[in-house]
Structure 1
């Protein structure tokens, strides 16, 4: 600036200016500005002849421009930028958490499985981005929760400067109120005491109230968010996989077995192998409370049923359905008039009759034999297939009538009280079949109830989490059922053997069980001859002495009667001692006669039918095995899909919780931006209302008014309520000043003006603008003309 010294003539307007012109250049900055900024008497807002140097028409002797260091007032947008960045962080984290609480960002649903995705795997959404967004939102939320109070306080201190200098009246604020803002008492708990004591008017101000409200919002935002937004583990879809194919319930009626009687043979084998203790993976119960089920207490389970999938199969993120079968037994003793008459005369009925035929042999003791008879009858209405061609819920019942008598020779067995009084029984088996929803994440991994209608129809149309498991059942795809071959095809072996029902296709479970127990090839039909053959073969065998000596029982097991291990109470052996059909090893005790076989059959009848509770549970187990074998014989083409997904952590919130937290956050952002804009629009005399600003204001009072005295609480310092705290332009500038320089102070004065120069510290000094230089040059030439 000294380059203009030869061109500009300046003169001082006061002695103060002259003194500044003759002051040596090596004086310290602090001394110079102390002389300029500390008034001699605070009672006089602007002492006479004590204004800042201004450009005049006199040439200074030692300072070319004849002015103190000065600058114009400037706006500052740094806090506005910080607020914008912070608001972006806060809004981003909250929006991500709120959106992910209801659906992913990468697609429109967490259940993004449809038949389209099944056919086009490349269209499967990738939820990795959602997991990354959630983690980033949590990290940013944690950072913002740490920064929110310091930033709010900084914004308030930043805006407080404008509030102090923009008061309408010079006495609108006291120094105590300004100090409360400088002390940031919006974060000071002691302010509560002052408010309660009724001194808010003395300490508070509108800006302090707004700052307190802003800090209250900052304090409650993240606690509210943590309450309304929880974290849950979610399984994101990966890809539906076909786990296998099972049969379709709709084919129970239509699909024909090319080998008549195969179903009965397989069911008979299953009944021979059945026991109470082996785990049945395909035995389900209502609600899925019992995962490891056996046939031990089948009748006591909560709605047990057979399904071809293992108990507890979880389809994951998919809604899948499977067929289920439930058969329950009801046993009751009946009167003679309730038993079907002349059942054996109708060839369409199921009728079986067995009784022992003893041959007279030397040494045969009739007192050791059991005389027994058993007849079984199912009317023609129960012999035809009861299944319907549908996936809807279906229910039917079957009736089996039994006439059982066991006698000791010509006398009744003493323990006949275990048998029905008249030996007549009615066994009613009620079967319910249909489809149920498999356990999945959508139903809390619990098997659904039996459905009334076909669920595959709607599922085949697509939809979230539902994939069509088979083509809808069309009439054109039905396989015509072969007609059963009724007739009087019976064979006499000490009774009547029911051959005609063996040709019935798609039998009911009770008919299949009855044929397995009493039909051709059954225990009652073949065991006597097999036993005689076995004993004859054993008689001709050359048994070593070691084999006889090492066998402590002296017997060998050669077979198991059907369902014997279902009735056995022996534990823990899987094949109990009373379930075996034994032959004597010693030649002296071998019996070649059929009487032992007949006695074995009589014992089986007594054990099977003497106790209704045992009979009920045993028949329930037999029906379970019959349903299982029938269903497994059908051709499988019904797909079962599974997608266990990949576990990701996502937020969990309700719509009401999101609305509440969003309202608090929106209000906070609004207040924070309002304070930032308020502090950024207007030019300011200092960056923030901090300790340095108060130091300068205190210097303006002078030692006379503000001395360093000990105090523990400034509420007793009364002059703080008398000193004005509004920042003003307290300079007294002449009218002919070329470039006026104002002074910032307290008390009486004018509001600070944008564009005007004010005295400043040397480090903030601004060079003259081109317009100011031009004005000075013009003034110089005008002075030269005189």
Structure 2
């Protein structure tokens, strides 16, 4: 029979190749080959040992012979086992992206990448000022926002890649794992790894329920690694959010602010005039922009009714019509730490830390007797003393009373200014004694003696900014020096600067009490708020003083209003100073000064002012104390803001202080707490270390397959063709996978020149040895 006409035997006989002399391939049956060369004994032994079967990728070759000639053995095809580094490279790339996104997000939560801080960092030498004023800082924070956007995109990419990368690493490591097992490893356990049960909830549940049949240490580790990778990214999404903050944008500086050194001993005489005008025009129930308070106020004005006296007392702030951020002078006792500052109470310096002068004056009243009135008060010396009296020229119903007398006294040395040239806290008090006597047409006379004490505290405070929650800071006991950091912009003059204390510490110079400009208290320029109030009410230029010195100028007969709704009313030519401040719920004085009825009209205006003062002082509704507190605030404002003008030029007070601000620009940054960063970082370290260890493990040994996948199981199934068939049935009920070894080894145990990869091979696979290949 010719070689190309050889018949292929039927049945389950093993097929073998052989090559004739002319290199023509032939297929012979097991029986034919045994008759020719007797080489079928080896295959018969494999059939009888189902646990030691050669994998299809390493087929054994029969002998090569030429009919009628001596048989020659051909050199079989073989190769050494190799290692794939692709899973390791994939894991390393994944870890790089993972760490990049996480590190960038954590850094950006507390610090920009392009500069040192999200806040302002100013240099004392002013080297960065111009760039800051031109808005150059903004570029750096825009770059950080781009980093943030890139990190978020990579974070999403990492989330998508997590399970695929973990699966690749597990499949590669599983190929190594199944060839390093012992005799107890079954084919069913190998099948569970090949099915990638770590990614299938159904298979994972079945493996955990039938632990001995399906599960293994490797599968449990793979399940844990996948579960950790599955929850890490959602955990980041839960605890990692974003927020909008303000970052440096552009520096703006406002000048014309008074430093305490500017106001001391500057020889100004117009401050009293300004204070007197303010006391005549101020409305207690209108918002006052320079009145500050350190906490929110309640503007729901309430009225308390005293049944025993049938009187009503105003107990709240009548500012509901102006909003909760606009306090008024209506009842300063209800404000929390009220004080005067030159800048409006709505001021905010944003990202810049700045300081300003603040002054707080509070008045109290004490009823005294005639014996308590100071005997040292006199028109001479350095004490302040003024007294006025008058009698009605006629007795008729148009005249409110028959006579009046009022005396005001501030004893002791009023020639010494209470103010000190220091930015540190300073406290002082002043006392004013008042005596009243009024003759009534119908009820005799009224007399009263009172002592007014005004306590004044001055110093510096931190203006509202983003760092302190947009709330005015407390009074600084030692001034702002030593508290200013790199987010402060320099204030003050070169002699007394406020600047970064980390580079310079300079104490505010303490200067002794300033001397008066004149031995007469009334003509001094550095007056305290109560003395200025007393001069405005009773000193030279006051309403009582001018009318007493120049009565003819105020006693002309003025006609009444002739037409309109006010026909018949007296003409009002000015408001009486201080009297508008006495307005309360229980007492609303007439604040209008009129000129009618000649001398009778003049007396009436003087009497009206004294009567208003006495009526408020004798009441117990707090109005008198509130009026002097308001007057002290207005006096402080006049003292620290009024500039004399001589020949058209400003003289005296020259403000040298400035305030800088930067309201910033919106910048989006990650938001995550440091404790969360630590906790998540620990979990991530465990996850990434385990993943990397798994990937490295997959490269430590040469493998018979680079992935324990369908191709690998096809090869295993081919070597077990007689045991595993396509017949219908429940795979979980079959005993074959449980009885068949699942490990991969060398069936030759190193005794042959070439190794043979086999299911259940008793020898370990070796990277230095060649194995039969396809």
When normalised by structure 1's length, the TM-score is: 0.78
SS at match of 1:745: strand
**In 1, distance between residues paired with 2:398 and 2:283?**
34
Q: CA deviation at 1:406?
A: 1.4
> Structure 2 matches for 1:514-525, cutoff 5 A?
514-525=534-545
Q: State the distance in 2 between where 1:304 and 1:398 align.
A: 19
Say if 2:405 and 2:438, in contact at 8 Å, map to a contact too. Answer: yes
1:723 to 716, 740, 753: 740
Write the deviation string for residues 673-701 of structure 1: whole angstroms up to 9, x where unpaired. 11112223433332311223223322221
Structure 2: how far apart are the matches of 1:644 and 1:115?
A: 19
Which residue of the partner structure matches residue 679 of structure 2?
660
CA–CA distance in structure 1, aligned partners of residues 377 and 614 of structure 2: 23
CA contact (8 A) 1:42 1:701 kept: no
Counterpart-to-counterpart distance in 1, 2:175 and 2:713: 11
Deviations 1:317-346 (A, max 9, x none): 222111111000110101222110141164
Equivalent position SS for 1:79 = helix
Residue in structure 2 matched with residue 73 of structure 1 by the alignment: 81
Q: Distance in 2 between matches of 1:53 and 1:194?
A: 38
Q: Aligned partners of 1:748, 1:368: CA distance in 2, in Å?
A: 128
Match of 1:644 among 650, 663, 667: 663
* Aligned twin of 2:717: 698
Give the whole-Å Cα distance in 2 for the aligned partners of 1:534 and 1:343: 29
Is 1:142 matched with 2:156? yes
What do residues 407-427 of structure 1 show as CA deviations (whole Å, max 9, x unaligned)? 1149525xx5xxxxx500000
Q: How does 1:410-449 map to 2 (within 5 A)?
A: 411-412=443-444, 422-449=447-474
Mean CA deviation greater in 14-23 or 503-512 = 14-23
The one of 108, 121, 128 equivalent to 1:120 is: 128
Unmatched segments (≥5 aa) in structure 1: 1-13, 26-35, 417-421, 487-499, 762-786
2:579 to 560, 564, 578: 564
Q: Any conservation in 2 of the 1:401–1:425 contact (CA below 8 Å)?
A: yes
Task: Within 5 Å, give how 1:311-710 maps onto structure 2.
Answer: 311-344=345-378, 346-359=380-393, 369-409=401-441, 411-412=443-444, 422-456=447-481, 459=484, 463-470=485-492, 471-473=494-496, 483-486=516-519, 500-527=520-547, 533=553, 536=556, 538-539=558-559, 548=563, 551-552=566-567, 554-568=569-583, 578-582=590-594, 593-612=601-620, 613-633=622-642, 634-710=653-729
Change (3 A) 1:118 1:412: farther
Distance of 1:328 and 1:247 partners within structure 2: 22
Q: Does 1:745 align with 2:758?
A: yes
| Shift of residue 263, structure 1, vs aligned partner | 1.1
1:244-255 pair list within 5 angstroms: 244-252=255-263, 254-255=264-265
Instruction: Tell me if the contact between 1:272 and 1:564 (Cα under 8 Å) persists in the aligned partners.
Output: yes
Sort the Cα spacing of 1:120 and 1:342 in 2 relative to 1 into closer, same or farther, 3 A: closer
1:43 aligned partner: 50
Label 1:69 to 1:349 Cα distance change in 2 as closer, same or farther (>3 A). same
Q: Is the 8 A contact 1:698 1:706 kept in 2?
A: no
Q: 1:509 to 1:44 in 2, by over 3 A?
A: closer
CA distance in structure 1 between the aligned counterparts of 2:382 and 2:669, rounded to whole angstroms:
65
Q: d(CA) in 1 for partners of 2:248 and 2:400?
A: 71
Q: Distance between the aligned counterparts of 2:711 and 2:440, measured in 1? A: 120
Q: Distance in 2 between matches of 1:478 and 1:598?
A: 43
Instruction: State the Cα distance separating 1:629 from its structure 2 match.
Output: 1.0
Q: In structure 2, what is the Cα distance between the partners aligned to 1:641 and 1:85?
A: 49
Judged with a 3 Å threshold, the aligned counterparts in structure 2 of structure 1 residues 679 and 733 are, in CA distance, closer, same or farther, namely closer
User: CA distance change for structure 1 residues 476 and 734 in 2, over 3 Å: closer, same or farther?
Assistant: closer
Please give the residue correspondences for 1:14-93 in structure 2 after superposition, counting only pairs within 5 Å. Answer: 16-18=16-18, 23=25, 43=50, 45-46=52-53, 52=59, 72-93=80-101
1:423 partner SS: strand
Q: Larger helix proportion, structure 1 or 2?
A: 1
For residues 708 and 551 of structure 2, the distance between their equivalents in structure 1, rounded to whole angstroms, comes to 111
Q: How many angstroms does 1:358 deviate by?
A: 4.4
Q: Which residue of the partner structure matches residue 39 of structure 2?
A: none
Aligned equivalent of 1:94: 102
**Which residue number in structure 1 is paired with residue 244 of structure 2?**
233
* Deviation (angstroms), 1:457: 5.0
Greater relative CO (CA pairs within 8 A, separation 6+):
1
2:415 and 2:516 in contact (8 A); partners too: no
Q: Report the Cα distance in structure 2 between the residues aligned to 1:729 and 1:287, rounded to whole angstroms.
A: 84
SS in 1 for 2:717: helix
Q: Residue 73 of structure 1 contacts residue 683 of structure 1 at CA under 8 Å; is this kept in 2?
A: yes
In 2, Cα distance between equivalents of 1:580 and 1:60: 144
Structure-2 change in CA distance of 1:195 and 1:160 (3 Å): closer
Count of aligned residue pairs for this structure pair: 683
Cα deviation, 1:168-209, whole Å, max 9, x if unaligned, reads x4x342011111111222234456655765x43332222212
Note the C-alpha offset of 1:529: 7.8
Indicate how the Cα distance of structure 1 residues 700 and 355 shifts in structure 2: closer, same or farther if over 3 A, else same.
same
CA distance in 1, matches of 2:232, 2:397: 98
Instruction: Find the residue that maps to 1:372 and give its secondary structure.
Output: strand
Aligned partners of 1:595 and 1:346: how far apart in 2?
27
C-alpha spacing 1:452/1:267, structure 2 compared with 1 (3 Å):
same
Question: Are the structure 2 counterparts of residues 117 and 191 from structure 1 closer, same or farther at C-alpha, using a change threshold of 3 Å?
Answer: farther
- Runs of 5+ in structure 2 lacking a partner? 1-13, 28-42, 298-323, 497-506, 643-652
* Separation of aligned partners in 1, 2:742 and 2:51: 15
Query: For the structure 1 residues 77 and 370, does the alpha-carbon distance in structure 2 shift closer, same or farther, using more than 3 Å as the test?
Result: farther
Residue 579 to residue 594, structure 1, CA distance change in 2 (3 Å): closer
Q: For 1:603 and 1:152, how far apart are their aligned partners in 2?
A: 93
CA distance in 2: counterparts of 1:16 and 1:591, whole angstroms: 147
The match for 1:265 among 273, 290, 300 is: 273
Mapped contact 1:502–1:515 kept (Cα < 8 A): yes
Mean alpha-carbon deviation: is it higher for 210-219 or for 425-434? 210-219
Helix, strand or coil at the partner of 1:232: strand
3-state SS in 2 of match to 1:18: strand
CA drift of 1:151 comes to 1.5
Query: Does the CA-based 8 Å contact 1:52-1:731 persist in structure 2?
Result: no
In structure 2, what is the equivalent of residue 491 of structure 1? Answer: none
Distance change >3 Å, CA 628–CA 754, structure 1 → 2: same
Paired with 2:431 and 2:173, the residues of 1 have a C-alpha distance of: 92
Match in the other structure for 2:187: 175
Change (3 A) 1:181 1:475: closer
Cα distance in 1 between the residues matched to 2:444 and 2:714: 122
The 2-side partners of 1:672 and 1:482 are apart by 81
Distance in 1, matches of 2:655 and 2:763, equals 96
Residue by residue, what CA displacement relative to the aligned partner does 1:37-56 show, whole Å, maximum 9, x if unpaired?
x9866627359xx9835597
Native 8 Å contact 2:517 2:525 kept in 1: yes
Take 1:506 and 1:410, find their aligned partners in 2: how far apart are those partners?
Answer: 45
| Partners of 1:52 and 1:519 in 2: CA distance | 124
Moved more, 326-335 or 231-240: 231-240
The separation in 2 between residues aligned to 1:70 and 1:677, in whole angstroms, is 27
State the Cα RMSD in Å.
3.8
- Note the alpha carbon deviations across 1:440-494, whole angstroms, 9 max, x for none: 22212211111110213553xxx331233123539999899664322xxxxxxxx
